[in-house]
Every structure is written in structure tokens, then in C-alpha cells.
Amino acid sequence: MTQYHANLAIGPFTFAVATDNAAVAADLWRVYQHAQLPARPDFVDFDLSVRTRLPWRRFIKPQVDFFLNEQRPFKPLPRDQGYAMLEWGMNWCVANHAHQYLIVHAGVVERNGKVVVMPAVQGAGKSTLTAALAYSGWRLFSDELALLGLADGQVHPFPRAINLKNDAVGIVADFIGGGVFSRTAHDTSKGSVALLQPPVESLRAMRIPAPAAVVVFPGYVPGSGVKLTTLPRPAAFEEIIGHCFNYHLLGLEAFELLYSVFSGCDCYRLEYSDFALADAALTELVA
């Protein structure tokens, strides 16, 4: 079997990726064609591979496995979900190991040197909104993981492919006038999934952190247009803890970091159905 290898440097991390699956390799190279792919990186943070499970399963309901340092942390998935599995695996690696950051399940964008952190549960529409904003002049930090540095209190960019599901794929493609997507994986646990290429400008600025200025809890509400409601900072602090992957692991450091962040942030709840209106509302907050 042909083996494909790439080293992917995104934000603070370098991933060494290997796969025997041509479709996974093709999607990776299409989505990250503008990213740094160092031939010989100084350091690799995560050694990953997506490999065909049990060679004879290539022909009967073929499956793939995800490996981190040759350990298999997940159950196998159907082969055509291989690229999505790789992206989810990269998220899992960072969320479970990168404890030099307080990691929040959030979309993150930046404008005018001010970061907007958008914590949300799955299905709330944060990745969809993040994608629309990233292709409307905002700098993409992440559609999934806000990385708050324990050492510097800044938000660190991690501009990977944006994970879109079901109708959101077509809606975002229409809004941005195209976009480069991976193949769509169907029948995943999240429905039909496609990954949108991160904007080139966001990749170029991926080593430039910035302070959090606004915390917004977004939610797609059909027909709402846009509705922005001020949220008391203590309530937002309490709510964001539930969106942190490692708040309790980090303990006092996480508490002090969030206290510092919220002491300087304004907080809101955002209901949206119109990307342009949401963009305008958030732009006003970072003016």
C-alpha cells in the first residue's frame, strides 16, 4: 500500500501525519495547500496516522483507525470518514494534551487586534458563524478550540479547517461564494460533514496571539436576524467553565486566568440567522 506523509504546522503545534488512504491524503493536501508543511520540522508535537483497518476490510465495509503515537484511542470509522476522523483526532490530541493552555470549546475570531471568543455546545451554530466571519474579513483563530495561554493570558491562533455539518455546508458555500472543501463524509455521528479550508490570511498570521476582548455565546435561531443581549460577566464566567476541556485539571491557574480575562471582557448572548447582521453586530463590539 502506498504511504502518504505530511508534516502540518498549524498555530502552536506540528502534526506528523501518515496515511495509507489516498482520499485522506488528497483532502489533507487540498484543504491545507496554503499551510506550512515543513519537510523536516524541529519538533513534532503529535505523531498521527489514519490507516486502513485489517487489510482484508478494504473490500468489505472498509474501515480506518486513528493512531496517536501508535496508540489507537478511538473505535474505527468507515473509510470514507477518514479525513474527518483525522481532523477530529487532531482536536482530541490538543484538547487532551495541550495543558499549557486553558482550552475552551469555542469558535474564535479576531478583528482590530481584539479577539471574540464564542463558546457553544455542539449544534448551536458556532462553526457555521465562525466560517462566515472568517471569510468576511475576520481573522480565524479556530472554529472549535479557544487556546488561552496560561503564561501570557493571550488567545493563541489555531486556524485549522472549519468543520461544517449538513445544511451548513451549502449555506456557507453560498455565502462565501465558493470556498475549498474536503469531500463530504456522510452518515457520521454528526451527520454529513465537510471541512472548509482556513483563509490564507489567517494561516499567515497564525503565530500572532491577541487578547480576548469579547465573550459571546452564539446560537442559530431561525428568523432571528440578529439579537445581541448583554450578559453579566459573573454569569458568563460561570457559563464558560462548562465549556472548558481542562478547567478542573488546571485548577487555580485556570481560575485566575479566567478571572483576568473576564475582568477585561464584555459578554453577550447572540441569537442570529443572518450572517451579515451578525458580522455587523460583532464588528461594532471590537471597533
Partner 1 sequence: MRRFTVAPGLIVRELDGVKVVYDGRSGDTHFIAGAGAVLLGRLADGAMAEADIARHWSAGPDSAGAGPDSLAAELEEFLTGAVEAGILRAL
Which residues sit at the interface with partner 1, rule CB under 8 A?
Answer: 232-235, 237-238, 241, 248, 251-252, 255-256, 259, 262-263
Least distance from C-beta 210 to partner 1, angstroms?
Answer: 22
The least CB distance from residue 152 to partner 1, in Å, is 20
Q: How far is the CB of 258 from partner 1 (least distance, A)?
A: 9
**Cβ closer to partner 1: 61 or 248?**
248
**Is 178 or 232 the residue whose CB approaches partner 1 more closely?**
232
Output 119 or 125, the one with its CB closest to partner 1.
Answer: 119
For the record, the C-alpha cell of 220 comes out as 442559530
Q: What is the DSSP string of the chain?
A: ---EEEEEEETTEEEEEEES-HHHHHHHHHHTTTSB--SS-S--SEEEEEEESTGGGGTSS-EEEEEETTB--S--EEGGGHHHHHHHHHHHHHHHH-TTEEEEEEEEEEETTEEEEEE--TTSSHHHHHHHHHTTTPEEEESSEEEEETTT--EE-----EEEETHHHHHHHHHHT---BPPPEEEETTEEEEEEPPPHHHHHTTT--B-EEEEEEEEE-TT--EEEEE--HHHHHHHHHTTBSSHHHHTHHHHHHHHHHHHT-EEEEEEES-HHHHHHHHHHHT-
Least distance between partner 1 and beta carbon 83 (Å): 37
Cβ proximity to partner 1: between 64 and 265 the closer is: 265
Q: How far is the CB of 156 from partner 1 (least distance, A)?
A: 23
Of the two residues 73 and 242, which places its CB atom closer to partner 1 in the complex? 242
Number of Cβ within a 10 Å radius of residue 174:
10
Angle formed at CA 105 by CA 167 and CA 114, multiple of 5 degrees:
95
Give min distance, CB of 211 to partner 1, in A. 17
Output 74 or 259, the one with its CB closest to partner 1: 259
Nearer to partner 1, 175 or 255 (CB): 255
Minimal distance in Å, beta carbon 227 to partner 1? 23
